[in-house]
Structure 1
Amino acid sequence: MPKQVTLPRFLRVTEVLEMTGMSRSFIYAQMAEGAFPRQIHLGPRIIVWNKQEVVQWMEDRIANR
């Protein structure tokens, strides 16, 4: 069977909040501590996160519980 290719996907802050169940302030505090994936600036008012990095962060939290 051919290997399934996962294309990168960007998440806006509302999607990150929904996926993680965390507040915006908690996410930014965790980023400041280096404990959450950094955002990507696509433009002056466009900030996104790499979906795979966020998913990996969530999987790491589950594995370390």
Structure 2
Amino acid sequence: MTNPCDCDIRLIRIDEVIEITGLSRAAVYRMIQKGEFPRQVRLSVRSSAWVLQEVREWAFSRVSPTGLVD
């Protein structure tokens, strides 16, 4: 199976999402419901993960050009 975008995709679990963003577990899921955070990818019936690059892009979008949070 080949990757159509020819790039590495790394999936991360909720604990790493929390570490990267500084958000609580509840805040992550609340923001997903509001459409304000990347949705998780379903891996199986009881397992999901996030695309690392999407979480990083979200985090970078939260920082203004001066490096201060808006």
Corresponding residue number in structure 2 for 1:31: 32
Corresponding residue number in structure 2 for 1:55: 56
CA distance in 2, matches of 1:18, 1:62: 16
Corresponding residue number in structure 1 for 2:21: 20
Unaligned regions of 5+ residues in structure 1, if any?
Answer: none
- Alpha-carbon RMSD: 1.5
Unaligned regions of 5+ residues in structure 2, if any?
Answer: 1-5
CA distance in 2, matches of 1:8, 1:43: 18
1:17-52 CA distance string (max 9 Å, x none): 111111000000000000000000010111100000
CA distance in 2, matches of 1:36, 1:18: 15
Greater fraction of residues in helix: 1
Q: Which runs of 4+ in 1 moved over 6 A?
A: none
Corresponding residue number in structure 1 for 2:43: 42
TM-score scaled by length of structure 1: 0.85
How many residue pairs end up in the alignment?
61
Deviation of the 1:6 alpha carbon = 4.9
TM-score scaled by length of structure 2: 0.80
